[in-house]
């Protein structure tokens, strides 16, 4: 039941964020949205790594923070240069999020199918033996 951990953490985080309302200047809202996107990508990447047995907590945490901050900074820089790097960040992180989700889905499906196939094979054998 390891998937309870992220859900639980997410709920706690949302709760904290609701109780302690952090007032961000409205001009920063755009950069925050990119940061959220980057953070979401990192978190999903972390979950994917758990499935792939390459999980490293430190890598996840540093990646999470630095990705979020860098994405926001990049978007800010883009605004300063009047280049829509914001769009690039949304695009890239959007793709990565979908990729991560797809990978996670594959892993879950594989595990499920493996179990199911084992059961099905055993069942087949049982029938044949009879």
Residues that bind another protein (CB under 8 A): 2, 5-18, 21-22, 24, 26, 28-29, 32-33, 35-36, 39-40, 42-43, 46-47, 50-51, 53, 55-58, 60-61, 64-65, 68
Residue 118 CB, nearest approach to another protein (Å) = 17
Q: Kindly tell me which of 25 and 130 has the beta carbon lying closer to another protein.
A: 25
Q: Which is nearer to another protein, 8 or 91 (CB)?
A: 8
> Which among 45, 34, 28, 43 has a CA at the least distance from the CA of 107?
45
Q: How far is the CB of 128 from another protein (least distance, A)?
A: 32
Our CB check for another protein shows the closer of 15 and 77 to be 15
Burial tier of 38 (Cβ tally within 10 Å: 0-12, 13-18, 19+): buried
> Distance of alpha carbon 55 from its chain centroid, rounded?
13
Please count the other Cβ atoms lying within 10 Å of the Cβ belonging to residue 34: 26
CB 48 within 8 A of CB 100: yes
């Amino acid at each position: 039941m390891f998937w309870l951990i992220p859900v639980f953490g997410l709920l706690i985080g949302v709760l904290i964020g609701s109780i302690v309302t952090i007032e961000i200047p409205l001009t920063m809202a755009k950069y925050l949205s990119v940061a959220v996107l980057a953070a979401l990508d990192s978190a999903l990447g972390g979950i994917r790594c758990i499935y792939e047995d390459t999980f490293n907590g430190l890598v996840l945490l540093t990646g999470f923070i630095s990705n979020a901050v860098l994405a926001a900074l990049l978007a800010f820089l883009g605004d300063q240069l009047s280049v829509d790097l914001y769009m690039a960040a949304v695009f890239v992180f959007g793709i990565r999020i979908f990729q991560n989700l797809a990978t996670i889905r594959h892993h879950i499906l594989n595990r499920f199918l493996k179990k199911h196939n084992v059961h099905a094979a055993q069942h087949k054998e049982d029938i044949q033996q009879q």
